Structure 1
Amino acid sequence: MLADRPGGVYALRLDGRDVAEYVWSPELPASTAPRPFLHPVRTLAGLVVTDARPHSHTHQLGISIAAPDIAGLNFWGGRTFVAGHGPAWLDDHGAQEHQRWIRHTDAELAHTVGWVSSNQTTLLDEKRTITANMLGEAAWVLGVHTELTNATERPLPIRSPAALGRPGAGYGGFFWRGPEVTGPVRLLSPVGADVPSIHGRTADWVAAAGADAKSREWTMLFTHADETTARDRWFVRARDYLGVGSSLTWDRPLELAPGATIDRHLLAVVADGTLTADEAAEYASAARSAT
């Protein structure tokens, strides 16, 4: 068992190395839609491959699960997209609050999380499991499994800004905010190697590769762990900032009935070096086999 760190942080450890920190009880302003998140996430060589609270988007938090509109409440952070108006600052932010631990070991964290409004009404009850597994000498795989259950007695509509009229903004769900990079970012997937080819489409996997200020290269590869998650579209951003998300819903609302559950399982391969397309495909397959 691992020891809790000050400030509500647990570390994931592999082969004696800290590969990620999970901030399960953050102290954040309401405008960020406070929630647990992973940051920093590191390669086995120690390169940091996440960013949190960057100047450009202070509500983006490493790797997290977030949603821009659940029954009219903002669980994403930042401005809210208003149909016919555009992004606006509103007093509509929810928060995700840790409830209880189920397991916490060096390589697995599992807890329950309540998605609550500002008046402490619980909309969603979540069971979240985070795992870490080795994938060889140069890579490891992070698993994020979420089960979101409607805790209310009414249907809950879940919407992206695209569903409200903002073209291409189909984000909401699992999201990775990449670090600052020097030089160009390389994107890969079975459906193409640029944002227009991948964004808004399904694909077996998506990879982004970059380098830090010392020219040390890394690759983040994202894939699904089950057939349901594989049907979700990818959100990809490589201009202004680097980010990849797996969207719960794209341009149509998803309505969650009382007591119903959304189950999603994402895998992120954290690798040193720049992967080729063939290597990325092999890592995606190996990650699913290791889960």
Structure 2
Amino acid sequence: MTMNDPLTLVQTHELRLGGRAVAEYVWRPHVPNTLSPRPFLHPVRTLSGIGVTEAMPPDHLHHLGASVAVPDVGGANFWGGRTYVRGRGSVPLPNHGVQRHHRWEARTDAVLAHELRWTRIDGTAIMRERRRIAARPVDDRAWALDFRYSLQNLTADPLVISSPGAKGRTGAGYGGFFWRARRGLRSVRILGPGVAGEDRLHGACAAWLALSAKGPDPWTLVFVPEAGPDEPWFVRGGDYVGVGPSLAWSQPLKALPGEGPRRRIITVIADGALDAGAVEALVETVAASPAPREA
């Protein structure tokens, strides 16, 4: 789908499974620069059509559905909003970066792969990204979003990837793949392997994490990172619902020239508020399924 805007061209691609539209990928967005413009998935839907993402909500305008967002890459803000500065707190700075589509590598109903450039506010490209997104069937109530990305430092010097948590703000180690969920009137349980609750899973290393939303049009999201239980989870379930494994929870990550992190996370999107046992079964099903071929 393509929409004409008086200032720019907003372009999206629809992901489909079995003839159903399950997600929109906004690969060329039109949002204010202070939100750190970047491609994002929204809306993402269950097989029955229930929306499970939220974009530009009033409480955090820079939350854009499901995206890759990093608060600090070499001093550039690719998260959006204010920047945390040690000793000063969160302050507005003119340092917002942009993730720009560069070229397509694959583009079908169920698979998208493209190359991006992460640029500073002056337009200088500091990172190259290769991103692959695939929609995969799971069963009659669920499907899986297979999201992988690899980053490469394009500069001649090491790039430091950081977060407020790595700068001293306790519990604020967000950055990386991040999913802003749409709660509405539902109550949301946060589940992990043998444990439940934001207080026990925020900052914890767990092999998977799930959001189970009970109420009108219930849904469940199950996040399974390929890296396993190595990276702490950033989790919010109070004022808003958001989840993501952290690239730099309490320590910065350094990318040498020509190098950078590579990550993969599978998100299962299911109808119904599933309990821990049903979630475990979905995790096992996804783990046993063959990985899709590289684009």
- Is structure 2 residue 233 aligned with structure 1 residue 234? yes
* TM-score normalised per structure 2: 0.94
Alpha-carbon RMSD across the aligned residues, in angstroms, is: 1.2
- Is structure 2 residue 188 aligned with structure 1 residue 216? no
Could you say which residue in structure 2 is the equivalent of 1:8? 11
* TM-score normalised per structure 1: 0.95
Q: Superposition pairs for residues 101-180 of structure 1, below 5 Å?
A: 101-180=104-183
Q: 1:40 aligns with which of 33, 40, 43?
A: 43
Deviations 1:252-290 (A, max 9, x none): 111100001311000100000011111111111222333
Deviations 1:80-119 (A, max 9, x none): 1111111111111001000000000111000001000011
Unaligned segments of structure 2, at least 5 residues: 4-9
Kept in 1: contact 2:206–2:228 (CA 8 A) = no
- 1:236 is matched by which residue type in structure 2? V
SS at match of 2:50: coil
- 1:232 is matched by which residue type in structure 2? E
Q: Distance in 1 between matches of 2:281 and 2:225?
A: 14
Could you say which residue in structure 2 is the equivalent of 1:56? 59
Distance apart, 1:196 and its partner CA: 1.4
- 2:56 is matched by which residue type in structure 1? R
Unaligned segments of structure 1, at least 5 residues: none
Distance apart, 1:191 and its partner CA: 4.7
Deviations 1:104-150 (A, max 9, x none): 01110000010000111111100000000110000000011000001
Cα 1:206–1:50 change in 2 (3 A) is same
Q: How many residues align?
A: 284
Deviates more, 1:216-225 or 1:55-64: 216-225
Distance apart, 1:234 and its partner CA: 0.7
Q: Distance in 1 between matches of 2:194 and 2:255?
A: 30
Q: Distance in 1 between matches of 2:52 and 2:26?
A: 16
Q: Distance in 2 between matches of 1:135 and 1:172?
A: 28
Kept in 2: contact 1:45–1:272 (CA 8 A) = yes
- 1:254 is matched by which residue type in structure 2? L
